[in-house]
Amino acid sequence: MIPERILNLVVILGFIAVPIWAVFADEIFTLTLVTKAMILGLAAVGLNIALGIGGMVSFGHAVFFGIGGYAMGILAHHAQTFTPLSVGPITMAGTKSMPVIWITAMLVSAAVAWVIARLSLRTTGVYFIMITLAFGQMFYYFTISWGTYGGEDGLPIYVRNSFPGLNTLVPLQYLMLCGAALGLALLLQWRLRASPFGLALNAARQSPARAETVGLDPMRIKLWAFVISGTITGLAGALFADLNRFVSPTMFSWQLSGELIILIIIGGVGRLFGPVIGAAVFVTLEHWLGGLTDFWHVWLGVILLFIVLFGRGGIIGFLTGKEGPHV
Amino acid sequence: MSVILIIEQVLNGLQFGVMLFLMAAGLTLIFGVMGLINLAHGSLYMVGAFAAAWVAGLTGSFVLALGAALAAAAAAGALIEMLVIRRLYKAAHLDQVLATFALILIFSEGTRWVFGSFPLFLDVPAYLSGPITLPGGIQYPFYRLVLIGIGVAVALALWWLTARTRLGIQIRAGENDREMIAALGVDISRLYTLVFALGAALAGLAGALVGAIQSVQVGMGEPVLILAFVVIVIGGIGSIRGAFIGALLVGLTDTLGGIFLPELFKLFMGTGAATQTGSALASMAVYILMSIVLIWRPAGLFGGQS
């Protein structure tokens, strides 16, 4: 049995060693895969705050992933076509600057997360799962039928957006940028869990009634946890769109919401590094099994079944010999 | 906008609604009795459609095809219940969602493996095709009327089954207190397999019936599955009556919204903008309906507890 700290350290070292190897071996595609794993990991870190710590099984986190993607797509589209962007009475120019895009993505995600949480937290259990799914579907169908930004075909962005002082067109530099975002999010998740807010959130998951008797307001705590969670996933969406230089309604699809949950389950629910390990394993499997057979989803399904039926606590639970928190 | 068009669209909405009911009835039974969220229900719908298309291709008989759909879906349902689902009854909802999501992946890719990526076709038989004239001179496809008839008949049969038969008493008792009916000597695991197979058979029937007016292809089950979930959440999970009313509401909202919302917006907008806003809103309409219902009644229209 490996202590969780050592395991986390191994994962961090892996995320540093693989890109270094890839640069020396000139394996550019591996860099793209690592960047993808980092971004999906970041999205899942966001979901993990709601799901793992807060116990809110959101089946609609693709909403924030998609909002982040479309924040990037819309701003960069107006910048590349030199058309002004009008939001109600305000008219502004598009932008190709990553910091501006990220802040927009996070602000919009936070606002939408607040509204969704306000409405959804009235329900519990299956109804919560289903109402978050419904919100995801609303955004999905809205973007499909909204022709201005490509509708069903999506929106291509020709050149990756820029970050001051970096050349984001160099794969390694973009990878490091995504790695930094992931690192910050992990740091935030780690600090959050140890903070009074995180402890209160933990209590609100385990027993709302008891949390209430000691003077906490479980609803409010969960609401803000959901907002933080959506904000992080929104940032991941913007990064993902920039990795592919393309946004489409599939970023809002319920399959994506399901995949984000899968990442967390594979890694280990409520664990600090669960989402990251899950994302790394998922991307590796997708690449490796996808190369072996066109039907790799069958094997992904079988692996998932085994993890759910026999491997409580995901990979981290298996390696450390300890079950994770119960959701 | 003529009366004939409105009546046609209402009939289309009803037809869509009763087909959703066939899916939703199984889902809601399985949730009510076993407490299980079954995402793989859409795969059973697909299994039914593929079995029907395959048998119809071999024999040319639509009735045999429907029989094959019922049998194949019920068998697939009983099989996954005994191999996988049985282990999930006591698990958290999260585990159930994941395991049945895994089953979707296995079923979808497995079907693609066997039948390939191209859609199969299942034809409406000659004696059911063609339009018929309704009172008032409305021409309407006969097959769609038959679908409405089958849906209503299944709804009545389900009501009879749960309200008037021994199995129905066991099902209702199982919803209320599974330990007690086990103690009274009912073989609970056999009952569960039976209920699961029944739900699966209904899904398979829906798949075969709808497969004749759409194409039969991998992934056909998931859009219907999501709508069926919307239906049972609106109706209140576990309630067959709720599923029926929810299904009709969703079917009518989806069908009528697509036609009338763009027209509605044309009253105070330009044609282009109205079409875009109207159709965007129409595609979201059922989900908006569902969130309004849940915000108003967090356990659905006929739901007791969540």
DSSP 3-state of B137:
coil
The answer to which of A300-309, B23-32, B209-218 has the lowest mean pLDDT is: A300-309
Give the mean pLDDT of A301-322: 82
Check B94 against A142: CB less than 8 A apart: no
Question: Is the confidence at residue B12, as pLDDT, over 70?
Answer: yes
Cα→Cα distances B285→A137, B132, B282, Å: 10, 31, 5
In this prediction, residue A95 carries a pLDDT of 86
More confident residue, B278 or B195: B195
Cβ-based contacts under 8 A for chains A and B = 136
Reported as a pLDDT band with limits 50, 70 and 90, residue B306 is: very low
CB B131 within 8 A of CB B141: yes
Q: What is the pLDDT of residue B219?
A: 86
Q: Do B102 and A127 touch (CB under 8 A)?
A: no
Give the distance from residue A83's alpha carbon to the nearest chain B alpha carbon, in angstroms.
19
| The two three-digit tokens of residue A65, written as one number | 């992933």
What pLDDT was estimated at residue A85?
Answer: 80
Complete DSSP assignment for A50-116: IIIIT----S-THHHHHHHHHHHHHHHHHHHHT-EEEETTEEEE---BHHHHHHHHHHHHHHHHHHH
Please tell me the pTM assigned to this model.
0.88
B28-64: per-residue pLDDT in tens? Answer: 989 888 888 899 999 999 999 999 999 999 998 999 9
Distance of CA B134 to CAs A100, A141, B138, B225, Å? 61, 35, 5, 32
User: In the predicted model, is pLDDT for residue B102 greater than 60?
Assistant: yes
Partner residue opposite B106 with nearest CB, options A129, A142, A301: A301
The nearest CA of chain A is from the CA of B168 a distance in Å of 25
Residue B77 pLDDT: 96
Cβ separation B97–A59 shorter than 8 A? yes
> Per residue in A39-49, pLDDT tens?
999 999 999 99
A29 in B contact zone (CB under 8 Å): no
Confidence tier at B1 by pLDDT (50, 70, 90): low
In the predicted structure, residue A327 carries a pLDDT above the cut 70: no
Q: How confident is the model at residue A246 (pLDDT cuts 50, 70, 90)?
A: very high
Closest CA–CA distance from residue A140 to any residue of chain B (Å):
9
Residue B288: closest C-alpha in chain A: A138
B85, B105, B224: best to mutate for the A interface, most A CBs within 10 A: B105
Q: Could you tell me which residues of chain B have a Cβ less than 8 Å from any Cβ in chain A? A: 31, 37, 84, 87-88, 91-95, 97-99, 101-106, 108-110, 112-113, 226, 229-230, 233, 237, 276, 279-280, 282-284, 287-288, 290-291, 294-295, 298-300, 306
pLDDT at B163: 86
Structure tokens at B21: 């009911």
> H or E stretch including A155?
strand A155-156
- On average, the pLDDT of chain A sits at 89
CA angle A71, A260, A191 (to 5 degrees): 85
Per-residue pLDDT tens digits for B247-304? 999 999 999 988 888 888 888 877 777 787 888 888 889 988 988 888 888 888 887 6
Indicate the SS3 state at residue B141. strand
Residue A85 touches chain B, beta carbons under 8 Å: no
pLDDT of res. A116:
94
Would you say how long chain B is, in residues? 306
| Percentage of chain A exceeding pLDDT 70 | 98
Mutation for testing the B interface, residue in A305, A306, A307, A312 having most B CBs under 10 Å: A305
Query: Measured between beta carbons, which residues in chain B are less than 8 angstroms from residue A148?
Result: 276
Tokens of B105: 């992946």
Question: Domain map of chain A by residue range?
Answer: 4-320
Mean pLDDT of B221-235: 90
Please check the confidence at residue A304 and state whether its pLDDT lies above 90.
Answer: no
Percent of chain B residues topping a pLDDT of 70: 99
Per-residue pLDDT, B248: 95
